[in-house]
Each structure stands twice: as C-alpha cells, then as structure tokens.
C-alpha cells in the first residue's frame, strides 16, 4: 500500500503545486513591478519553494544542443540507436569530419534518470563520440515485457557495445561499475569483437567490504526479507507498469536525502533567501540541481534485491562467486581492455578503496594498461560532475581513452 498512499498524497498535493507555480510565475513577471517590493519578493520566493517541493517521474531533457569542437560550434542531435522496453541507447551525434573515439557512458539505475550525468556528457562531448544508457522508468514498462535483474542489465550492455561496434570505450558511473565489469569479463572470455578497448569505473561498489559507508552498513544490517517487505511496492494500476514490483524512486530519494538532511535543509533556506533578495543568478545552480534531483524513477524490484544481495551483502564479484545466467564470471579473463578506476576523497556513498578493488580482480590486464586516480576534495557527485571533474578528473579519463586507441 506504500505506493498507493504516496500516489494519493501526490494527487492531493497537485493543486497546491500548480497554484504555487502560477503564483511564482505571476509574482516574478518583470512587467508587474513586484521585484521591487520586498513583501512580493518573499511571497514569490515562498511560492517557488512550495512548487519545487514536488517530485516528477519523467526524464528531464538533456538540453545539449551544441558543443565547441576545436574552434567551431557544432550542433548536437540526439539519436535513438537501439531501444528495448527497459532502456534506450542514446547517441549525441555531431557532424564533424574527424572521427572521435566512441564512448558508452553507463548511467546508474539508481532512482534518478540518466540526465543526472548531463555534466559528465557535456564535458566529454568535445573529444568523444558519446552514447549513453537512458534507462526507462519501470513503472511505465508493462509486466508482459518480463523481469529485469542484474543479468538483464549485463545483457543490455553487451548488446549496446555490439551495436556501437569494435573500438568502443565504456565509462561506468557508480552502481553500474559492477555489471560493466561483468559484461567486459564475459565478452573477453567469449572473444567478443566488440569488447571495450578501455573501461573506466568511477565511484563504483566493486568491493563494499572495504571502508564500509553508511549505505553499506545499512545494507548489511538488515536481512534480505526486510528489504522485500519494507521497501518493495507495486505500481498503481493507472500506469503502464501496473502491478510490477518496484523499489519506488521516491523512497530512494528520501533515503538519500536523510543521509545529509541538514545540508538539504540549508540549501533550501539559502535558495529562499536568494530568491527573496532577487539574487536569481546565485539561485540558478540550486534550482537546476533540485529540478534534476527531484526527477525520480522506479527500479525493478528484481534488480534492486539482487544488487543488495550480490553486491552489498554477499560480495559475489570480489569473492569470485559472481554469475551471469548461471555462468561464473572471471574478471581475470579481461586482457585487451585498458582499465581506469576513479574515486573521490570525500565520497560517503562509495568510499576509497571500493572501486580500486577492480585493479586486483583484473589479473589478466598488464600493469601498464591499468591506472587508478583519486580525486581530492570531492564527494560522490564531484567525481563525475562539477568544477574538479572538468578540470582535473576528466583529463585523466580522456588520456586513458586516447592512449588505448
């Protein structure tokens, strides 16, 4: 009944959100002179804060329309290259003369849409031919399309790399580091012609026994049945995925926010203050962040439960017990793929050492083909977005891709 209760509350709240949006729009209109009145500015700020408290369940646009390649502004066209019921392989196509290294960015299936990696993609576009896994909200996927677990995640990555073709590079952000490593191992063992030329794993939970975080401890302190009974719900009948078992995105958002609730409260207080003072330029970064952060998607219950069990509780991959469709996975079979692992100094979701563990698992990769990079001064999201990502981390990623060409 959890999902049904949430939906009922969201439906009841919708008129208030719409009223707040109308109020904010009218009070902020440049023609009515309200911006000069402190009382009106406070009312507009309060309306906007109320408006932004609502969640959305549809993917925001990437809005990446052009990019500077060399000294020329180049148009970006989003192309659907491959589509399944659960995911779209999206290509950010550029009309340029010189071919660039094809890169598959593997976005997390973790309660937010792939647009959370907009900054990652924007930074990579000038130098690379970028594709991304655009996961669908499973509350819109009919039950008739089947289940989706870790095996199916790996299946998608193998299919997408096959579609892109030989010479592809893969960059996995956070949670998909595990299925990405599994896909690379399977493709290497099979001698697949499209096995990735390089593999970058960023802030991924390869071995969560190392320096456990609050997230890791939470996963191990509760039995698997607790997650099934406490966090899994069913999609309401009104959506395409009616009656599908899911880990609702709104539940995961609450869990993430509760880890740093003081920071989020302060962020909204600061946003209110900036809006009430008419400091719209200062408010814009927070507006953009929470527009993205409050766009949530549901996870397949199969994928969520399997991830809790395999990655966080039983540590199948580092123990050599990981299986794909019943077949044992051996990262030591990877020999032709360059490996880069990246971690953030202040990451409180995937701590130092957890991604580095992939270096020891990939025993078949020669030392000169492996590199580890630790980015100082950043938390989890700073590993793949923001100022330090663009200025310090990305050049390391770019170098690994280009030396492996």
- For residue range 61-88, what is the model confidence (pLDDT) as tens digits? 999 999 999 889 999 999 999 999 999 9
pLDDT at 257 over 90: no
Q: What is residue 21's predicted lDDT score, i.e. its pLDDT? A: 61
- For residue range 264-276, what is the model confidence (pLDDT) as tens digits? 778 778 877 877 7
pTM above 0.75, yes or no: yes
pLDDT at 18 over 90: no
pLDDT bucket at 318, cuts 50 / 70 / 90: very high
pLDDT at 375 over 50: yes
Q: What is residue 268's predicted lDDT score, i.e. its pLDDT? A: 73
pLDDT bucket at 31, cuts 50 / 70 / 90: very low
Domains of the chain: 1-25+39-54+261-292 (no CATH), 66-216+299-403 (3.40.50.1820)
- For residue range 191-201, what is the model confidence (pLDDT) as tens digits? 999 999 999 99
The 3-class SS string of the chain reads CHHHHHHHHHHHHHHHHHHHHHHHHHHCCCCCCHHHCHHHHHHHHHHHHHHCCCCECCCCCCCCCEEEECCEEEEEEEEEEEECCCEEEEEEEECCCCCCCEEEEECCCCCECHHHHHHHHHHHCCCCEEEEEEECCHHHCCHHHCCCCHHHHHHHHHHHHHHHCCCCEEEEECCCHHHHHHHHHHHHHCCCCCCCCEEEEECCCCCCCCCCCHHHHHHHHCCHHHHHHHHCEECCCCCCCCCCEEECHHHHHHHHHHHCHHHHHHHHHHHHHHHHCCCHHHHHHHHHHHHHHCEECCEEHHHHHHHHHHHHHCCCCCCCCCEECCEECCHHHCCCCEEEEEEECCCCCCCCCCCCHHHHHCCCCCHHHEEEEEECCCCCHHHCCCHHHHHHHHHHHHHHHHHCC
For residues 220-229, average pLDDT: 94
For residues 158-178, average pLDDT: 97
């Amino acid at each position: 009944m959890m999902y049904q209760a949430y939906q009922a509350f969201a439906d009841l709240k919708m008129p208030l959100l719409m009223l707040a949006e109308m109020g904010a729009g009218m009070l902020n209109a440049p023609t009515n002179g309200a911006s000069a009145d402190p009382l009106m500015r406070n009312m507009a700020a309060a309306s906007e804060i109320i408006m932004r408290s609502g969640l959305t369940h549809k993917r925001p646009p990437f809005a990446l329309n052009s990019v500077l390649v060399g000294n020329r502004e180049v148009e970006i066209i989003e192309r659907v290259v491959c589509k399944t019921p659960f995911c779209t392989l999206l290509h950010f196509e550029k009309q340029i003369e010189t071919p660039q290294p094809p890169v598959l960015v593997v976005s997390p299936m973790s309660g937010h849409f792939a647009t959370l990696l907009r900054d990652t993609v924007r930074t990579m576009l000038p130098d690379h031919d970028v594709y991304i896994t655009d996961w669908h909200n499973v509350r819109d996927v009919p039950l008739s399309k089947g289940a989706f677990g870790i095996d199916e995640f790996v299946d998608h990555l193998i299919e997408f790399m096959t579609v892109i073709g030989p010479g592809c590079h893969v960059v996995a952000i956070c949670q998909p580091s595990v299925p990405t490593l599994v896909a690379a191992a399977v493709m290497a063992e099979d001698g697949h012609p499209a096995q990735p030329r390089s593999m970058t794993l960023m802030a991924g939970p390869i071995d969560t026994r190392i320096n456990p975080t609050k997230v890791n401890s939470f996963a191990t302190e509760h039995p698997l049945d607790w997650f099934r009974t406490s966090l899994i719900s069913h999609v309401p009948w009104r959506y395409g995925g009616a009656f599908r078992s899911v880990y609702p995105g709104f539940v995961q958002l609450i869990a993430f926010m509760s880890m740093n609730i003081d920071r989020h409260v302060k962020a909204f207080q600061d946003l209110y203050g900036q809006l009430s003072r008419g400091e719209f330029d200062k408010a814009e970064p927070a507006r953009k962040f929470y527009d993205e952060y409050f766009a949530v998607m549901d996870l397949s219950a199969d994928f969520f439960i399997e991830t809790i069990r395999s990655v966080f509780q039983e540590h199948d991959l580092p123990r050599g017990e990981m299986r794909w469709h019943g077949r044992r996975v051996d990262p030591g079979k990877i020999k032709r793929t360059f490996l880069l692992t990246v971690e953030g100094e202040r990451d409180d979701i995937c701590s130092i050492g957890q991604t580095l563990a992939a270096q020891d698992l990939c025993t078949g990769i020669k030392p000169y083909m492996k590199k580890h990079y630790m980015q100082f001064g950043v938390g989890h999201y700073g590993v793949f977005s923001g100022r330090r990502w663009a200025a310090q981390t990305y050049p390391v990623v770019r170098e690994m891709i280009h030396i492996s060409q």
